[in-house]
Chain A
Amino acid sequence: EVQLQQSGAELGKPGTSVKLSCKVSGYNIRNTYMHWVNQRPGKGLEWIGRIDPANGNTIYAEKFKSKATLTADTSSNTAYMQLSQLKSDDTAIYFCAIDYYSSYIYYWFAYWGQGTLVTVSS
């Protein structure tokens, strides 16, 4: 069974950084892309970017290029997202999600973590 376990809630002060983690079990992250998505309070889903853990290649949505940094550690099957220069507008739930390939079929954003709430407040 594929599971994504995200790190716990974070409280960050404006101007500081936080680093979130997403540990995958039941699937080798070398074989997939890891996406990060946010959801501001009461709002919809927004794609931040994705990483190819096999080679570290990343693609970001333009608005997150200076906000988010995606990395991955294939030895621990874990992906990370660092959010820098926190502002109140960064308060949101952050989800990780993986694509999944099985029996010659590719599934997009097939499995999701439970989400990490990041609250930015002084």
Chain B
Amino acid sequence: DVLMTQTPVSLPVSLGGQVSISCRSSQSLVHSDGNTYLHWYLQKPGQSPQLLIYRVSNRFSGVPDRFSGSGSGTDFTLKISRVEPEDLGVYYCLQSTHFPNTFGAGTKLELK
């Protein structure tokens, strides 16, 4: 199985600040079709996960441009700028290039 390693586990932030979350995979996420199937989700407390970024760098409908994704191969980053209260929760990366699909262990974004 592809191991997804997210860092940090916990990320204290001040409102208005900027943060980055790293997600590294144990093997390349480039599919045989040339696409990279790495996605980012936010799970707010008591809620279901919600899609933020699909295929590395594309924002889902309604996701503010404060969220940006980048990376390639095995190394990916989610950046959040001008953090707002509604951004707090646990962020997960997911790879759907290989079966089984696998999630990172999560990064908890919390207030300092």
Per the bound structure, the CA–CA distance linking A47 and B104 in Å amounts to 11
In this complex, what residue of B is CB-closest to A33? B96
Give residues of chain A (49-75) contacting chain B, Cβ–Cβ below 8 Å.
Answer: 49-50, 59-62
In this complex, what residue of A is CB-closest to B105? A44
In this complex, the interface size class of chain B, counting residues with CB under 8 Å from chain A, is 20 to 34
Given contacts A61-B100, A95-B49, A114-B48, contact A109 B105 (CB under 8 A): no
Per the bound structure, the CA–CA distance linking A62 and B100 in Å amounts to 8
Per the bound structure, the CA–CA distance linking A56 and B82 in Å amounts to 45
CB pair B54 A115 closer than 8 Å: no
CB pair B105 A108 closer than 8 Å: no
- Judge whether B74 is part of the interface by a CB distance below 8 angstroms: no
- Judge whether B41 is part of the interface by a CB distance below 8 angstroms: yes
- Residues in B with CB closer than 8 Å to A47 are 100-103
Per the bound structure, the CA–CA distance linking A44 and B94 in Å amounts to 11
Per the bound structure, the CA–CA distance linking A49 and B49 in Å amounts to 17
User: Mind listing 17 A-B residue pairs with CB under 8 Å?
Assistant: A35-B101, A44-B103, A44-B105, A45-B49, A45-B94, A45-B106, A47-B100, A59-B99, A62-B1, A62-B100, A95-B49, A107-B51, A107-B60, A109-B41, A109-B49, A109-B51, A112-B48
Given contacts A60-B100, A109-B39, 17 further A-B contacts (CB under 8 A): A44-B105, A45-B92, A45-B103, A45-B106, A47-B103, A50-B101, A59-B99, A61-B1, A61-B99, A62-B1, A107-B54, A108-B94, A109-B51, A109-B96, A110-B54, A110-B60, A112-B50
